[in-house]
Amino acid sequence: MMGWIDQNEFLIGSTLTVFLLAISIQIPLRLGVISFASIGYYAIGGYGTAILMTQYDVSTWTSVVVASVAAAVVATLLGLIISRLNGLYLAMATVSFSLLLSAIAVNGGSVTGGAVGLFGVIGDITIWHTAGIAVVIIFLVSFTERGKLSRRIDATREDSQLASAMGINVTAYRRLSFPISGLIGGLAGALAVNLKTAINPESVNFTLVVLALTIIIIGGQASWIGALAGSLFFVWLPEILVFVGEWEEVVYGTLVVFAAVLVPGGVVGVFNDWRHRRSVARERPKVALLEAAAGESDAELTQSRSGKDG
């Protein structure tokens, strides 16, 4: 087991950082906000860590924390600036935010290393640290997927007007999703740059947006399990099937199209639907009995009423 982990350390690390990035996109998405800004947060986290570590000799963990918090701060500001927008307009604004950042990375001169990027980022983060962080995030995210809070989040996404009529502060929820998404996205970038020891503008462009979105769509939008399933699938499939590695984009593109047309809820959504149907099937006889009983008492009631009348 330990040997296997050592052998596949890079793949496991990639799975975890991609998973964190997917969570960062998923959090606003669950509130009905289509935001591509997570790529920008990822870039801030990654570049921030790389700049602090290679140019200012800051210790690994301080760099990671500072860069992630910086991403969260930028995310908060972005959330305030674009709070007027919604739907596709917001999606566009966040795409342009992310791509502006990658243009800055290209033109940043010696600070960002231009088109070549920064390399030689060697810190002391092991696979266990990354796994630990992922578990903590899963633990925190799972709180938002149960009970009252989960229902409020679902209501905000499905019908924001109805949700605010029910007394849910939709704006506050949506605004709050930005710093959280920013922190997790920044963390994903910071951990990824430590894993890969390098970062360049190519690695934070539109392709990454597409990959992260694809992961969520294949896995499922509603739960962290979906994001994890998607990340596992996307990082490991090209390793296991060489054919998939060769035709990676075609396979992914086709899968995404199929998912969008046929199973909007993703793999996890299909599983949940199946579980829901099964429980309905199990409950149906009981419901039928109850209904029959209710029907009888109704009949008695009308009889006794008509008896009184007559």
Residues near another protein (CB under 8 A): 29, 32, 34, 81-82, 84-85, 87-89, 91-93, 95-97, 99-100, 103-104, 106-107, 159, 161, 206, 210, 213-214, 217, 247-250, 252-257, 259-261, 264
Cβ closest to another protein, residue 57 vs residue 249:
249
Report in angstroms how near the CB of residue 127 gets to another protein at its nearest.
30
What is the smallest separation between the CB atom of 211 and another protein, expressed in angstroms? 10
- Least Cβ distance, residue 201 to another protein (angstroms): 10
Contact call for residues 85 and 93 (beta carbons, < 8 A)? yes
CB of 229 to another protein, least distance (A): 17
CB of 123 or CB of 266, closer to another protein = 266
Burial of 65 (0-12, 13-18, 19+ CB in 10 A): middle
> Considering the complex, what minimum distance in angstroms separates the CB of residue 146 from another protein?
23
140 versus 250: smaller Cβ distance to another protein: 250
Residue 209 near residue 97 (C-beta atoms within 8 A): no
Nearer to another protein, 132 or 253 (CB): 253
In terms of CB distance, is 7 or 207 closer to another protein? 207
Closest distance to another protein from the beta carbon of 81 (Å): 6
Q: Residue 29 carries which side chain, given as an amino acid letter? A: L
| Residue 255 beta carbon to another protein: minimum distance, rounded to whole angstroms | 7
Question: Residue 260 or residue 280: which is nearer to another protein going by CB?
Answer: 260
Rounded to whole angstroms, the Cα distance separating 243 from 240 reads: 9
What are the two backbone dihedrals, phi and then psi, of residue 244, each rounded to the nearest 5 degrees? -65, -40
Cα(176)–Cα(157) distance, rounded to whole angstroms? Answer: 14
**Minimal CA–CA distance to 144: which of 153, 156, 135?**
153
Nearer to another protein, 64 or 217 (CB): 217
Of 195 and 259, which CB lies nearer to another protein in the complex structure? 259
Q: Which of 160, 252, 187, 221 is nearest to 38 (CA)?
A: 187
Min CB(258)–another protein separation in Å: 8
Q: Which amino acid is at 165?
A: A
